[in-house]
Every structure is written in structure tokens, then in C-alpha cells.
Amino acid sequence: KFLTEGKLGSCSFRALWGGRGTAKSWQVVDAAIWWCYHEKSLRCAFVRQIQATLEESSMELVRSRLEYWGLLGVVVHERKNKFYFDNGSVILFMGLWKGNKPSGIKSLEGIGLTILEEAQEVSKISLELLMPTVARTPRSEIWAIWNPRSAKDAVDALLRGPLPPSRAVVVEVHANDNLKFPPALREQMEQDYKRNPVRANHVWGGAYEPSAEGAMWTRDMLDLAILGGQNLSKSLIKRIVVGVDPAGGGGDEIGIVAVAELTNGKACVLDDYSCSP
């Protein structure tokens, strides 16, 4: 509901984040159609960091929702991969970067509603270029939908960090909030939680990715190492080593850990003091 509240332009950002099965895309598409129907001459763009083909966009979903609402072919007409409303509004789809250049961003001038799909993939430089480009009209807004991947991703740092933009409304959504959650999808979700609850919490619960696929050190292994060090007997400690990974710039976190080498040849993390500079 918050996606259609107030006047367009009353928010700088409206954002939905969460796991799979939350109907984020459906909610955003329906809200975008609502605004285009009620606002005259509104230009709405669904954008991704890189969009090689239209099949990667939400074009098919927009088409199906326009048909569902009985608008397509009546007051909305599809021409050249765009949807034109009789009131002058239009919905289009594009990538922000083309040929290693932000050429897509430059063409967004004059867009009233910019919707970032798979926003976790949008780079920091794209966001920095995008915001002043599109925020040029009284009704300009940026919407973002994503499944969180890392706290260091640009969209998370911007919208879920300690200093979010003013007039930003950021909402977490859950699969249980989706009243039309398909039974087959729920069955798959339950099976995923049984097989790998940590991974499933990212896919379905919107938690950050536990670790890189195929990583030598997984999040489970690190958590066990830290937990094991909490009640470690001093008699088992051979020596203690402090490891420091300095920040690489751009606000990266400084990694600081205290690790005990044990008399049995193993090691255990005593504590993690990592912090932001």
C-alpha cells in the first residue's frame, strides 16, 4: 500500500527487500501501473544494472498485469517494446550500463519513476550517477526491489545503512505476507530449510548470503570456530595471534580477529573485533 500513498515525489526512495516468494515484483509492477494510469505524461522506467535482452526485464510481467487489469489494448498500447497510456504516460525497460559505459543512465533524464530491479546488483557508481540524473522533477522517485546479498552492496549501504536518504521508505517483506503464495513454492521452501537452513534463510528469508559458493571458509565454519573459542581452556592455548586486514578505501570494513593456536595443532577464533573505519 505504501507504494501508492501520498503524491508521487513525496518520497525520494520507496524500497522493498526480502526473499523469494514475497511478490515484491508483482506489488511494484501493479503500483507502477497505478501511477501511470492516474498521472498524466508520467515516464516510468524499469532498469537493471545490465540488461542484455528484454527477456531479463519485467516486460512480460508488466504485460500480464496490464491484461489482468483489462487495460492492455483499451487504454494502454504496446509499441516497440514500450507500453503507452492514452493519458501520455509510458513504461519502458532498459539497462544502466551498455558497453562498459553508463549510457543508459544518461538517457533517464526526465524519467518520473525509476524502478531498480535486482537492485543488489546495481553498482555504487551507478547509484551515484543515477540519483542526480533522475531527481530533476517534482514527482521524481526511485524505487528499489532486491533480495539482500551483502551489507556492502551499494543499495544496502544506501538504504539500510546508518544514514539513509531523507524521505526514504524502506520495507521488509516476507513470504508469509504473500496471501497467494503457491503451495508448491511453499513446499520447496520448507524442503530448502530442512536441507540447508542457512542458505534457505538467504533465498527465502532475505538474510545476507552466508558465504561465497565453494568458499574454503564458510559462515557455518567461522561461527563454529568463534563459538568454540568462548569456553576454551587456557591450558589448551599454545599462542594467540591477532590478524588485521586494513580497509581498502571507500568505507570498507577493517578485519580484526584474535585466533588461538592450540596444543593439539588446531586453531580457534577467540573473538572478532572487525569494525568500520
> CA-CA distance, 131 to 125, in Å (whole number)?
10
pLDDT in tens, 85-141: 999 999 999 988 875 677 778 778 888 999 999 999 998 888 988 888 887 788 899
Mean pLDDT of 214-219: 56
pTM above threshold 0.85: no
Band the pLDDT of 218: cuts 50, 70, 90. Answer: low
Band the pLDDT of 9: cuts 50, 70, 90. Answer: very high
> CA-CA distance, 205 to 118, in Å (whole number)?
16
Lowest-confidence region among 37-51, 206-220, 253-267: 206-220
pLDDT in tens, 50-73: 887 888 789 999 999 999 999 999
Count of beta carbons in the 10 Å neighbourhood of residue 249: 7
> CA-CA distance, 62 to 53, in Å (whole number)?
16
> CA-CA distance, 74 to 20, in Å (whole number)?
33
CA atoms within 13 A on the CB side of 209: 13
Give the closest residue to 198 by CA, choosing from 187, 211, 215: 211
- Contacts (Cβ under 8 Å, ≥6 apart) of 104: 47, 94, 95, 96, 97, 98
> CA-CA distance, 152 to 251, in Å (whole number)?
9
Q: What is the pLDDT of residue 93?
A: 95
The three cell numbers locating residue 180: 497467494
Q: Which residues of 216-235 are buried (b: 16+ CB within 10 A; e: fewer)?
A: eebbeebeebeebbeeeeee
> CA-CA distance, 203 to 206, in Å (whole number)?
6
Average pLDDT score over the chain:
86
